[in-house]
Structure 1
Amino acid sequence: MGEHRRSRRVRFRRRARVVALDRAAPPVESDRTRDISLTGFYCYTPGGLPVGTACLVELRLSGMSSDLVLRMNGEVVRRDREGMGIRFRSLDSDSRFHLEHILEELTALAADVYGDSRAPVPPAPRGVARGSHG
């Protein structure tokens, strides 16, 4: 089965918090994400929200002197034994600006390190197909 991605994914290791909009499940705290694009991301978490759950995503970015939290509305589009993939449904203009800048910087870094603009992402676990989360 082919994958149909609208945006390039890049490695992205940050903390994330995912809250179901209906508050039917407790918030999910993830110590690390795997990858991100303009359309979604994947986070490692032993628990998770059911596929189809509308959610609020908070990505925590720590700087030298301050922290920044990007907030986006999303939907859980896949779950596997390691975590879940979330597609962004809406981003406010500030979050979109910061996310675009992060993706540009990570893509440029990958070009320097790998000699091209492809930042490799880790392979999906054996027997688990990648979903279309981003």
Structure 2
Amino acid sequence: MGISVKRAAILLLPIVLAACAGGDDGRGIAFDDDRGGVNQPFPDNYRAELLAFMRTYLNNPVGVHDAALAQPVQRTVGGRVRYVTCLRFTPRESDGSYRELRERAVLYVNGRLDRMVENASDVCAGAVYTAFPELGKLTR
């Protein structure tokens, strides 16, 4: 019982395509080239991008208290240079109460919001915060 040539070609196609997609330098494929060096562009729209992200990140984006934001600064995170902005806020819980103040680091790659880091104490050490009232005005 042999396998047909056509069936073998169909089975090997994903492997062949994966091999073609990789670069010669051994790096993976990324939508946006991660420069990772000191030439990261400043995230010009960081406030608007952060507000859009927080609308989806928070279970209830309405009624956030004590929102404060630090200006983006370059820091080395995970061995790569990133623009990082630090955020403090007290979200409204599902029962309507407010609990502890939270601190998060928001990382930018190539000028765009990449991810939020929940354990931000090291990354945000020494951050200078200013009021971020826009976060407290979010709606659903």
- TM above 0.5, one fold? no
The structure in which a higher percent of residues are helix is 2
TM-score with structure 2 setting the length? 0.28
Larger radius of gyration: 2
Q: Which has the higher strand share?
A: 1
